[in-house]
Structure 1
Amino acid sequence: MDQAQLRELSDQATVRLQNKPGTASSRRGGWMMISTILIEAWDLYAISFLLIFIKSEFDPTDVQLGLATAAVQGGALIGALIGGYVADQFGRKRVFITTMILFILLAIAQGFSQNIWELIILRFLIGIPLGSDISNGYAYIMESMSKGKREEMGSRWQFMFGLGEVVAIVVVTIMYIAGMDHQLLWRVGLGLGAIPALILLVSRLNLPETPSSLVQRGRFRDAKASSEALFGDSLEMLPNEDVKINRVKVGDFLKVMWSDPIKKRATIFGWISNAMQGAEFTAFGFYLPVILVTAGVGVTGSGENQSIVGTNVVTALVYSLATVAGFIAPMMLSRIGHRGLSMWGFGLSFCGLVVGAFAIGIDLKPLIVIAACVLMWGHYWDASNGMTITSMVAPPRFKATASGFGYVFVKGASFFGAFVFPIMTSHWGPVGATLAVSLLSLTGFLSAKFILPEVYGYVEQETAALERKAEAAG
């Protein structure tokens, strides 16, 4: 068979796989992939509650502090870009096993940093496996779960982020109340991320490679076995032998996505949305504990202990509310669609940031907390579906590449926000910096309104078109 015939055969198998009902194995695979977000949330945001101790020990400049917090985002940007491509070339399982091993080693190593530059370098390196795992994980979800459940699971990433953030706050606060030495506290706090990563690594060892990925790479024998494990279907239309299918190219990915108006607009929106929500949260939300401490929110008495504990409690409550928003977001898709979810999310974030800037300016503490809650609720809606959209509208052979490209925009903007926000705050003050961030949310709202076509259920529509094509050919 020539390459066109092999591609046609792989498309027929893909159609069948995309129409499969969910099984316990496919659901388990989806949860194992989305659980990576818990680990990323711990590493990305535990440091926001540990910055005060890192500053005390290393006395970094504003630029060094920005790099220490943003370095993991820069590493994740590179990891997302290369990880998605590598996963499409060599398979999902190799990538998600390798990334977890690297994360465990680097998470422990950062706890032994001897100076601020060592910490910056290690946090940059730890971002590479994180970014790779996310882009690969989204491809796994889209390929291993049943139709109707893929979008729902993919949109749970903000719920998992919120859960990880709340756990990070609680653990750091408990260690602080217990009187742990501050120089040890931040090191333990960062190194603890290796524990859930190890649990996840062990849990993933028995997960099969996705049959779609195997099919697209011509490994038909393994694809049949994997499909049997995930869906109870041996794909009898495939021969019991492996074949050579030409590797996908990045240029082909862009050509395919740009040739279809819906794919093109949805992808462009996904990139804009990912960038806006990444910078939006990393700028304001990431530094929320610092802002609350500076504003005196949560202070229950006099002294440093009362300030830090009280502020952490308020922050935990804000993130708990945000976690509820992240849990509800996937449920809203069937009612308001991706477009409505994004518009509501970015709109609420914009309002929360503007009101928050005003409240900080007049030092109205209750209003600062209310604005933070509105911001976080909105953010956990507007950030829930950008990655889902970019991966969902891509053809099967480009799923991980599309996820990687999408996550590059999240991490690039997150790096920018984490690095620039403390510098903006030192020059413009928290009010000016917060108002500047609100423009990001406004941009996201306008892009949802004028660029994003409604793509809820798009996977099913694309599958139906492939199915008709396969039937006509057969």
Structure 2
Amino acid sequence: MSVESSVNQDRYEINTPDDVSKLVSKFAGSGKTNKVIWLALIGVFIDAYDLTTLSFGIEQVVEEFSLTPVMTGVVASAIICGTIFGNLIGGWLTDKIGRYRVFMADMVLFVIAAIVAGFAPNVWVLIIARFIMGVSVGVDLPVAMSYLSEFSKFNGKSNKAARLAAWCPMWYAASSVCFGIVLALYFILPPEHINWLWRASLIFGAIPALLIIFIRNKYLTESPIWLANQGKLEEAAKILRDSYDINAHATVKETSIKQKKHKQEGFLVLFNQTYLSRTIVSIVIHISVAFQYTTIAFFLPSILSRFFHTDTLTTISTTLGLNLLFAFTGGLLGVYVASRLASRHVLLAGFFLQFISLLILAWIGQPENSLLVYTAIIMLGIWLFAEGFGPGAQMMVYPTMAYPASIRGVGVGFNRAVTGVAQAIAMFVLPIWMANYKTDVFLIISVFAFIPLIVIGLLIKFEPTKQDVDATIIEDNQQSSVGKPAIE
């Protein structure tokens, strides 16, 4: 009997949260679950789009509002400061009140913040709106990663690791769409209104959020794993039947079975004996990616215009080309290798390639001839490619698969908050570093590619894809009924 027919025909009785986790781990991918995955990835798309919009437009914002380097850093870092708050509160709420309600409230916030930012009359309104957009981004990632993990099976094609890694090509697809829109607007807008490029691109970010809001009732649902962990087995079983095509039935409406508690209310659980090493690795990954990504990906248009002296059209088209040819392609490769290779090995390969690329960029400096210009651009492309298949994809695989569902939102939220702090610092100091150190900034940033090689390669060798943390046996001597179908 095929898996699909087994799922549709056999009856499964569930009497513990562990039963639900095992069924999802084994059979997820059928029914409506693929649509939930796509909705979660659209949420990631919105995150990336919003974070990308000012990477080109920051120069226009500086000119329109006559910003100093310090105020430029404030505007650039406002959205990241918002993500720090959003990550912490969003991760906690995701575990506390559920994935669905947090996700939908977040989409509404996206729409409002994007429109206000696009029509900002002054820099202070823009800063506040960008901060709120950052809160939305921060809230979204913990819940999106929870959806990707809890609606995917552990092994086989399109498993948890692959679907979590899919966040990276979706991120770069959003970046490419953003610059594609900017490029189109460049030709559409009259020359006297060219300063509306950054405003129009911000407003466009509200469209995918509105799409999710309109179609939520048809496809989106709560995570059955989260419901089961709240003791709501009957509700979890109904979602397994309706969305997963799993013929599951709860033996009781609700359960008071005591799971192994992880003190899920607080972040200190991430630093206990069980999770400390995992948290250290995740923190190192997130800080390293934050400083590198902010330098190369976010400030890529600034690098091209300041150091390579490209004009506006060349800057937009080159940035779009690098994102499509290298970053997006690398992200697709990351999805392919995530289900086939150990995350640790993929990370090491990506960080090593980035380290070499940054050293070469520092050696080239400001290119003095066409050959060096093209070499430097290729190095930027190689860095983006390595980010796509390595750290960029795996940075969400690590915390999402390292922590169980009961603390997944908190775990992902905390690590993303660490990223936010690092990015906020980077966005503030990088304009100053670029002004003072020029292309020597590449040498400084190469340190953030070297440190994880030592930590992950030599010190802590944790592998998150080795075991499914959601399919562990609970403490209560309860026998799981998932091992075989019930006889009707």
Corresponding pairs, count = 457
Name the residue aligned to 1:315. 319
Name the residue aligned to 1:62. 69
Name the residue aligned to 1:121. 128
SS in 2 for 1:67: helix
Flag structure 2 segments of 5+ consecutive residues without an equivalent.
1-14, 483-488
Name the residue aligned to 1:216. 229
Q: Report deviation, 1:251.
A: 6.2
Q: Report deviation, 1:271.
A: 1.8
* 1:315 alignment partner AA: T
Structure 2: distance between partners of 1:468 and 1:386: 34
Q: Report deviation, 1:23.
A: 0.7
* 1:332 alignment partner AA: V
Is 2:41 the counterpart of 1:34?
Answer: yes
Deviations 1:21-62 (A, max 9, x none): 421311221121122121111111121111221111101111
1:216–1:397 Cα contact (<8 Å) kept = yes
Structure 2: distance between partners of 1:250 and 1:257: 12
Match of 1:353 among 335, 358, 362: 358
Q: Report deviation, 1:201.
A: 2.5
Flag structure 1 segments of 5+ consecutive residues without an equivalent.
1-7, 300-306
Structure 2: distance between partners of 1:452 and 1:190: 41
1:46-125 alignment, distance < 5 Å:
46-125=53-132
1:270–1:390 Cα contact (<8 Å) kept = yes
Match of 2:149 among 125, 133, 142: 142
Structure 1: distance between partners of 2:387 and 2:179: 19
1:339-378 alignment, distance < 5 Å:
339-363=344-368, 364-378=372-386
* 2:161 alignment partner AA: E
* 2:211 alignment partner AA: I
Structure 2: distance between partners of 1:270 and 1:245: 29
Name the residue aligned to 2:437. 428
Q: Report deviation, 1:15.
A: 3.0
Match of 1:449 among 445, 448, 457: 457
1:68-467 alignment, distance < 5 Å:
68-148=75-155, 149-180=159-190, 181-206=193-218, 207-233=220-246, 235-241=248-254, 249-250=263-264, 254-255=268-269, 258-260=272-274, 263-296=275-308, 299=310, 307-320=311-324, 321-363=326-368, 364-380=372-388, 381-429=390-438, 431-455=439-463, 457-460=465-468, 463=471
Structure 2: distance between partners of 1:472 and 1:235: 13
The 1:288–1:109 alpha-carbon spacing in structure 2 relative to 1, beyond 3 Å, is same
Structure 2: distance between partners of 1:13 and 1:369: 49
Q: Report deviation, 1:422.
A: 0.4
- Please identify, of 242-251 and 420-429, the stretch whose mean Cα deviation from structure 2 is larger: 242-251
SS in 2 for 1:146: coil
1:15–1:467 Cα contact (<8 Å) kept = no
Structure 2: distance between partners of 1:473 and 1:291: 58
Q: Report deviation, 1:433.
A: 1.8
Q: Report deviation, 1:13.
A: 3.2
Structure 2: distance between partners of 1:46 and 1:228: 41
Structure 2: distance between partners of 1:382 and 1:82: 25
> Which runs of 4 or more aligned residues in structure 1 lie more than 6 Å from their structure 2 counterparts after TM superposition?
244-248
The 1:245–1:96 alpha-carbon spacing in structure 2 relative to 1, beyond 3 Å, is farther
SS in 2 for 1:24: coil
Q: Report deviation, 1:464.
A: 6.0
The 1:473–1:256 alpha-carbon spacing in structure 2 relative to 1, beyond 3 Å, is farther
The 1:137–1:166 alpha-carbon spacing in structure 2 relative to 1, beyond 3 Å, is same
TM-score (norm 1): 0.89
* 1:213 alignment partner AA: W
* 2:200 alignment partner AA: V
1:257–1:394 Cα contact (<8 Å) kept = no
- Please identify, of 217-226 and 387-396, the stretch whose mean Cα deviation from structure 2 is larger: 217-226
The 1:257–1:150 alpha-carbon spacing in structure 2 relative to 1, beyond 3 Å, is farther
Name the structure with the higher helix share: 1
Structure 1: distance between partners of 2:256 and 2:341: 44
Structure 2: distance between partners of 1:241 and 1:400: 23
Point out which structure has higher relative CO (alpha carbons under 8 A, 6+ apart): 2
Q: Report deviation, 1:469.
A: 6.6
SS in 2 for 1:236: strand
Structure 2: distance between partners of 1:289 and 1:216: 46
Structure 1: distance between partners of 2:230 and 2:62: 49
Structure 2: distance between partners of 1:369 and 1:101: 39
Name the residue aligned to 1:304. none
Name the residue aligned to 2:5. none
Structure 1: distance between partners of 2:257 and 2:69: 53
2:91–2:143 Cα contact (<8 Å) kept = yes
2:263–2:269 Cα contact (<8 Å) kept = no
The 1:228–1:258 alpha-carbon spacing in structure 2 relative to 1, beyond 3 Å, is same
2:401–2:465 Cα contact (<8 Å) kept = no
- Please identify, of 374-383 and 357-366, the stretch whose mean Cα deviation from structure 2 is larger: 357-366
2:18–2:473 Cα contact (<8 Å) kept = no
The 1:231–1:244 alpha-carbon spacing in structure 2 relative to 1, beyond 3 Å, is same
SS in 2 for 1:35: helix
Deviations 1:323-349 (A, max 9, x none): 000010121234431111111111111
* 1:239 alignment partner AA: V
